[in-house]
Amino acid sequence: MSSLENIHQYGIDEKNREIYLHSYIDSPISEESGEGGVDFRSAVILQKNIRYLDTLSLEPILVHMHLPGGHWEDCMSMFDCIRSSKSRVILLAYGRAESSSGVILQSAKLRILMPNSYVMIHVGSFGLSESDHSRTAISHTQWNEKESAKMIDIFTDRCMESELVKTKKWKRMITKKHIISQLNNKGDWILPADEAVYYGFADGILGSKKFPNIDYLKTHIKKHQ
């Protein structure tokens, strides 16, 4: 199989150590299939590709991510996969990094946004059927609260490295309270690329002086991380 076929069929460019992370594409694509976002299929493909490239060398891996939100448990499996990679992972987000994919973005050693992309953060939701017992609702609510707190901690940790925190000299508790207040006030907290960098939710914007082009990203991570 050619390298081009591997890119389109399996989302991996073995030679250049690049992965293409997007919704699982049904065949044939139809209006009904839509965009699945973060699910078990996109998660499993990423896990296989990361692990495979890890076995070849420890050179940096560049992940091109064009992915909306989706299932939380699959999001966290992808988060753990990237965090546990022996190779340093660069994540380049196209379009948006929202909900689950915004969390996945935080797992990378180097997080770069396309100029016209954005980050969106919110507290996730869950659904129950009419047949579910009331105790089931309580259990799911408690689990959702716990996982929401985990998500807030992830963003707080990244925000602690930001220009915002350095300028205001905030402690972690103040930073966390600020993030919670933004989520409570806005519901969907949408940050354009420059604001996401200011908050520490990304490291830079592609095309800037610091990150001029895609080919430079691996050079940068070798020099600075």
Q: Which residues contact 223 (CB under 8 A, 6 or more apart)?
A: none
Assess if residue 208 is contained within a domain. Answer: yes
Residue 3's pLDDT is what? 81
As given in the structure block, the two tokens for residue 63 are: 């992940």
Assess if residue 93 is contained within a domain. Answer: yes
Instruction: Give which of 60, 149, 154 is closest to 104, Cα–Cα.
Output: 154
Instruction: Give which of 56, 36, 49 is closest to 82, Cα–Cα.
Output: 49
Q: Tell me the CATH number at 134.
A: 3.90.226.10
Instruction: Give which of 70, 72, 77, 17 is closest to 45, Cα–Cα.
Output: 77
Residue 27's pLDDT is what? 43
Assess if residue 132 is contained within a domain. Answer: yes
Length of the chain: 225
Task: Classify each residue of 167-183 as buried b or exposed e, where b means 16 or more C-beta atoms within 10 Å of its C-beta.
Answer: eeebeeeebbebbbeeb
Assess if residue 67 is contained within a domain. Answer: yes
Residue 132's pLDDT is what? 60
Query: Residue 213 in contact with residue 222, Cβ under 8 Å?
Result: no
The total number of structural domains that make up the chain: 1
* Other beta carbons within 10 Å of 221: 20
Q: Consecutive 10-residue runs of the chain (225 residues): their mean pLDDT?
A: 78 94 65 71 95 97 94 95 97 95 97 97 69 70 88 97 95 97 94 97 97 96 84
Assess if residue 155 is contained within a domain. Answer: yes
Residue 129's pLDDT is what? 57
Assess if residue 225 is contained within a domain. Answer: no
47-94 pLDDT, tens digit per residue, is 999 999 999 999 999 999 999 888 999 999 999 999 999 999 999 999
Residue 64's pLDDT is what? 98
Assess if residue 147 is contained within a domain. Answer: yes
Residue 29's pLDDT is what? 45
Residue 37's pLDDT is what? 85
Q: Residue 161 sits in which domain range?
A: 3-220
